[in-house]
Chain A
Amino acid sequence: MKLITAIIQPDRLDHVREALIQADITRITVSRVTGHGRQEDIEFYRGQKIAPNLLPKIRLDIAVNDEFVDITVDTIINSATHNSGQIGDGKIFITPLEECIRIRTRERGGKAI
């Protein structure tokens, strides 16, 4: 089992969610987070250009069995990119997942995912 954590741009959230559902990856946790990589975003407030140092991002947490890692990661990559070549499209982290428990049935392991 793996935990896939992806940090993406907020405007790609619907694209990624739709693509994941098309690929039959239907269990997901989404949170609003702030942070930054190398990207320097510029927004407009009252006509003034300002460069906030912490930027809004979307964090996706998806727990999957090993055989679903590749399809999940590929789907996120293809749908989260702006295809602009510019920095800031986000990152994906994959970590080993020790245990998974479904609270209702108390099932453990891969079948609980």
Chain B
Amino acid sequence: MRKRFLTPLLFVLAALMFQGTAHAAEAVATDTGTTSWMLTSTALVLLMVPGLAMFYGGLVRTKNVIGTMMHSFAAMVIIGVLWPLVGYSLSFGTGILGGLAGWDSKYFMLQGIDDSIMASHIPEYVFAMFQGKFAIITPALIAGAFAERVNFKGYALFIALWSIFVYSPICHWVWAGDGFLFNLGAKGAIDFAGGTVVHISSGITGLVAALYLGKRRGYPKNVMHPNNLVMTLTGAGLLWVGWFGFNAGSAIASNLDTARALTVTQVAAAAGAFTWMMIEIFHHGKATSLGVASGILAGLVAITPAAGVVQPSGALALGAIASCFCYTGILIKGKLGYDDSLDAFGVHGIGGIVGAIFLTFFIRSSWMAEAAQKAGGSWTVIDQLGVQATAVGVTIAYAAIVSLVLLFIVEKTIGLRIKENDEMSGLDHSMHGEQGYGLINLN
């Protein structure tokens, strides 16, 4: 039975592979400097995933630490397999289905890019792997919204489906050369490193999932303290470091644009953390470590779409504005009572929306001049605001609707919300048969 199913599948694979090799790549010289930086950036972005595992892992209760860190690692594993198979093609292939997603058979299993050097003078393998890291971290971010209460198998299926049906299409619209948001307005919707693609899409999905799956048992009556803030801070530090690859690598260059992106990333992270710290000191009298970590992330999320177009003054402003909005958002969450457990929406959703919208007011004048030239005369802040709002609105609507459908399918088939008894025992025991801190005990 199994063999009968496998044989045609192998034929299809072979056919697709053969088709792929038919495309020959033309010779462009590799720039070693650019390639070196892009290789470094690729590694830095992957470093953010264990960073996220530590950040989230420290925030949950002891009995869920392994289960929560596994959500990030599962994304490395599952999307790590899916991306070279179909993800890259769905995101960066030529538009199909009226531009809904991309597809190019030469990208299937990365067959056709073995000799390919891109116009940016880097091997296409580097670009494909660099983009693959973004595809990995995005679904891992969602896990913060439904931490401590999902079935591992359901989660694994959900992120695989989500990557195919939500991430790849949005990525195609925003970053592929023929994507409709890439070509919206005079110079396209501004999303330098993933404000819409990564942060808004994952944040909104997190909110939808938190609402659909319901609260954790006992929330908000029982206070659920972080099990290890030392690990959370270490994770936040790794995220900050990795973000230089995330943003400065997104220039796909090693030049002035890279330097600009790196500088504003540093400035916005610090401004975000500083603002959050000050708010806490005035609001509560004490600056908490979790507040500083949250401020770092809020600043980094907000600068992500803007890193290519704002100057340091704009980065200071965006970091500060993002922290104010995210802090308020989390206060409102407490009032509304929904359980976005680790504030995936509160930081990534709100921070991403704030960054993508407010960046409009801080765009450097040379960019606006170029846009005006392309538009054939004038291009105002209000014009660009309309483009940004469209990109944000489209991302929110698409991510929310498709995610809800996917959540429904997974919940009704193999189940996503964990059983009550398993939730009480903790994910580590019920999902993985392990425990996080066993080695602290004599053994």
Contact = CB atoms under 8 A, between A and B. Distances in A.
A32 B433 contact: no
Interface in B423-443: 424-426, 429-430, 433-435, 438, 440-443
Interface in B207-258: none
Nearest to A42: B433
B133 interface: no
- Count class of interface residues, chain A: 10 to 19
B443 A34 contact: yes
A11 B434 contact: no
Given A12-B425, A14-B424, A44 B434 contact: yes
Contact of A54 (B424, B425, B441): B441
A102 interface: no
A56 B433 CA distance: 13
Contacts of B430: 11
A15 interface: yes
B443 A52 contact: yes
B187 interface: no
B48 to A, nearest CB: 25
Contacts, number: 36
Nearest to B438: A56
A43 interface: yes
Given A43-B434, A44-B434, A56-B435, A11 B441 contact: no
Contact of B433 (A13, A34, A43, A52): A43
A58 B65 CA distance: 17
B63 interface: yes
Contacts of A33: 441
Interface string A1-31: 0000000001111110010000000000000
A78 to B, nearest CB: 14
B433 A54 contact: no
B434 A15 contact: no
Contacts of A45: 434
Interface SS of chain A:
mixed
B443 A54 contact: yes
A12 B429 CA distance: 10
A101 to B, nearest CB: 29
Contacts of A12: 425
Interface in B390-443: 421, 424-426, 429-430, 433-435, 438, 440-443
Nearest to B440: A32
Given A43-B434, A44-B434, A56-B435, A15 B441 contact: no
Contacts of A13: 63
Which of A13, A14, A33, A34 has most chain B Cβ within 10 Å? A14
A15 B435 contact: no
B433 A44 contact: yes
Contacts of B425: 11-12, 14-15
A20 to B, nearest CB: 14
A14 B425 CA distance: 7
A36 to B, nearest CB: 11
Nearest to B422: A11
Contacts of A10: 63, 429, 435
B22 to A, nearest CB: 41
Which of A11, A33, A56 has most chain B Cβ within 10 Å? A11
A89 B265 CA distance: 53
B386 to A, nearest CB: 51
B441 A56 contact: yes
Given A11-B63, A43-B434, 4 more contacts: A11-B426, A32-B440, A44-B434, A56-B441
12 contacts: A10-B429, A11-B426, A11-B429, A12-B425, A14-B63, A15-B421, A15-B424, A32-B440, A43-B433, A43-B434, A45-B434, A54-B441
The 10 closest A-B pairs by CB, nearest first: A11-B425, A11-B429, A14-B424, A34-B441, A34-B442, A54-B443, A52-B443, A56-B441, A54-B442, A15-B424
